[in-house]
Structure 1
Amino acid sequence: MIQNINKYFSDIYFNLHPTQEEVISHQSLRILQTVQKKQYVMIRDIAEQLSISHNTASEHVKKLVGNGWLYKERSEEDQRKVYLHLTDIGSEILKKNTELDENKLQAALSRLSANEREKIVEAFRLLSEVSK
């Protein structure tokens, strides 16, 4: 069953993924995803999430800030805390590299019945919920 799910997911991703325009590492994508999915992310959270040193995480973040994909914001309550946020460009880069192409997805879904489309959405919703 797991092999089938992985094969189907791989096929879906291969066929419906947008064309990549930017060169971005897997680790950089994981950092952008972490910032997007979690609230109040700091460099130490990135280091923990990726199982890397604080210094390595800091270097990765510095690069992403330099690219204009992330920005830092110091906490008003505690000036020692610096939170990371996605820029609009960072959000767009993340979308292009982690989501399916909406036009390709719409074309594929249009070949299914309304009932089949509902089943697909429900299956992805359930899998998303239990994966958290």
Structure 2
Amino acid sequence: MPVDSPAQLRLKMALSDELLARAERAAAIFIRAIYHTMGERALETLSHTDITYSQLQALRFLGSHASATVGDLAEGLHISYPSATNMINRLEKKGYVGREEMPEDRRQVGLRLTDSGAELLAKLDQDRRKQFATILARMDDADRESFLHGLNVFIEAGIQGGLLPADRLCLHCGSDSDPCCPIALTQPDEFCR
């Protein structure tokens, strides 16, 4: 896909200032809606546990990457190896993560969710899915499809235009990977594993 010149971009933007303002406003409201409804509810659930939001991200990563190593976790969460090690040590002490020797290379140690870690993750994911389902159920089929299509096209355009960093957006969903993921569609070999 050819990239527009700066002059072409200015012309497109001048022709669509109203559309741009509407899109920015809708995006800001959407971000607030996601944060205030789903994010705050997850944080409220977490407040009844002894883990942080960052530790939840680690549990989510491990939930979709069987036998990931500390290095895999560090790379997937974009944190340093020492930070990942400290996080795993804390999660292990709390009983949410366990370590296991890797059969193919006994020098490597794989990480896995314990039953407690899997239960917590399942509860949080179930709550989030229920909220999404409730909102999506209020939309008709065409609106749901338009919503998903619009989000995917926006993400793909941002990645292809170099404005959205695919490596930072990627969920590193591993075994839960979706063939319709906008990152998988634009950069499948780099991020999807």
Note whether the superposition's TM-score is higher than 0.5: yes
**SS at 1:79's partner residue?**
strand
Q: Does 1:25 align with 2:52?
A: yes
Q: Does 1:114 align with 2:141?
A: yes
Size of the aligned set, in residue pairs, is 131
CA–CA separation in structure 1 for the residues paired with 2:140 and 2:59? 35
* AA of the residue aligned to 1:50: H
**SS at 2:111's partner residue?**
strand
| Range that drifts further, 61-70 or 4-13 | 4-13
From 94, 101, 110, the counterpart of 2:121: 94
Consecutive unaligned residues of structure 2, counting only runs of 5 or more, are: 1-22, 156-179, 184-190
Q: Percent identity?
A: 21
From 76, 80, 85, the counterpart of 1:52: 80
From 106, 112, 115, the counterpart of 1:85: 112
**SS at 2:105's partner residue?**
coil
Instruction: Check whether the contact 1:74–1:80 (CA below 8 A) recurs between aligned residues.
Output: yes
Deviations 1:27-56 (A, max 9, x none): 2123223323445421123334433243x3
Q: Which runs of 4+ in 1 moved over 4 A?
A: 1-4, 95-100, 121-128
CA–CA separation in structure 2 for the residues paired with 1:7 and 1:91? 32
Measured on the aligned residues, the alpha-carbon RMSD in Å equals 3.2
TM-score normalised by L of structure 1: 0.70
Highest Rg: 1 or 2? 2
- Highest RCO, 1 vs 2 (Cα 8 Å, sep ≥ 6): 1
Q: How does 1:64-79 map to 2 (within 5 A)?
A: 64-79=91-106
